[in-house]
Amino acid sequence: MTSLLSLDKRRYLVTGVLNNESIAWHVAAALQREGCEVVLTSFGRVARITRKVADLLPSPAEVLDLDVMSDESVASLAEQIESRWGQLDGVLHSIAAAPPDALGPGFVSAPASGVLDGFRASAYSFQQLTTALAPLLARAPGGGAAVGLTVDSTRALPGYGWMGVYKSALEAVARYLALHLGPSGIRVNLVAAGPVETVSARGVRTFAELADQYERWAPLGWDRADPARVVGAVLFLLSDLSRHTTGQVVHADGGMHAVFGGVGVSPAAGTGVPPAATAPAGGTTASRGETATG
C-alpha cells in the first residue's frame, strides 16, 4: 500500500493557475510536497501573475504557454513536455471561460459566437489537451491520469448560466475520454468541487449564497476559504490509488451533492450580469473576446 500512496519523483502538468488562491495552485504545491516535479501553464495577460505565484510554491515552477483556443499551442505544449520529460504521470485540467453575457440570465440571450467559444475553452479543451498528451501519459508506469475540475452539474445552479452547461459537457467528455484512452492505460476522472473562494468563483454573482448553503447543510461541513478540501480528491485521482478508477466524478463538497439543499437560494438570484467571466471550479478565465488561458 505504501507504493500506491507514493507520488515521489513523478511528473505532472498543472493548468489553470491564476494566483495562489486557485485550487490548481494548491494542487501544484501539494504535489511538490510529495516529491513531484511540476510544470504550470498560462497564457496572455495573466501569465505574468502566474509566473509570480509559481515562485511562491515550495519549489519555483516553470510556466509554459498554453492557449487552448489554438491547436498549434496545444501541440507545442505536448512537444515541450516530450522534450523535457519523455513521459507524463498526470495532468490537471483547470481551465474554463465564458463571456460575461453568457452567465446568469444571459443563458437565454447570449449570442452563439461567445457561447461556442466558451464551450471550446471549458469542455472541448479537456479532450484536446488530454489526447495531445496521451502518448506521454501512456508511457507512465502503471498508466497516466488526466483529472479535470468541475462543479455539481446534476442540478441547475442559479447564476452559472452557460458555465453550468459547459460543466455538464465536461462530464460527458471525461466519460468518452475514459472509453477511448482506457486501453492505453490512461484513466480520466473529474473532481466536482464545492464552492471555493477564488478570484474566478467570486465572479458568479450567486457565489456567496451558494457557499452559505454548503456551509450550512453539507454533512461533513464546508469552508469556502479552504481549498485543501478539494486537493485531496485530486491527489487521489492522480495517484496509483485510483489506477482502477476511470470515467468517474468524485465529489469533494462535504457531501452536499447527496442531500437536499438550496434552501434560500432563489432561482432568480443573480439576475444582473456578473462583471467578469468565471471558472467556478478555480480555473483560469477569459472575458468575451479574450483568449482562454491555462
Does the annotation flag 95 for ligand binding? yes
Is 253 annotated among the ligand-binding residues? no
Q: Where do the DSSP E strands lie in 34-184?
A: 37-42, 63-65, 90-93, 145-150
196 known ligand binder: yes
The residue annotated as part of the active site, out of 12, 166, 167, 214, is 167
Residue 72 marked ligand-binding = no
Q: Cα 206 vs. chain centroid, distance in angstroms?
A: 20
Backbone angles phi, psi at 90, to 5 degrees: -175, 160
Per DSSP, 145 falls in state: E
**200 annotated as belonging to a binding site for a ligand:** yes
**178 among annotated binding-site residues:** no
167 among known catalytic residues: yes
DSSP state of 122: I
Q: Is 235 helix (H, G, I), strand (E, B) or coil?
A: helix
User: Residue 93 forms beta bridges with which residues?
Assistant: 148
CB count in 10 Å sphere of residue 35: 11
For 20, 77, 108, 178, 200, the CA distances from 39, given in Å and listed in that order, are 15, 11, 39, 24, 21
Closest CA to 149 of 31, 32, 26, 260: 26
Annotated binding residue 167: yes
Q: Is 23 annotated as a binding residue?
A: yes
Tell me the three state secondary structure of residue 192: strand
Q: Is 81 annotated as a binding residue?
A: no
For the question of residue 12 being annotated catalytic, the response is no
Does residue 281 contact residue 94 with C-beta atoms inside 8 Å?
A: yes
Q: Is 17 annotated as a binding residue?
A: no
Q: Which of 160, 166, 176, 214 is catalytic?
A: 160
Residue 252, classed as helix, strand or coil, is strand
Annotated binding residue at 21?
Answer: no
**Spatial contact of 158 and 201, defined as CB atoms under 8 Å apart:** no
- Summarize the annotated binding site as residue ranges: 16, 22-23, 67-68, 95, 98, 167, 196-200
Residues catalogued as catalytic: 160, 167
- Summarize the annotated binding site for substrate as residue ranges: 98
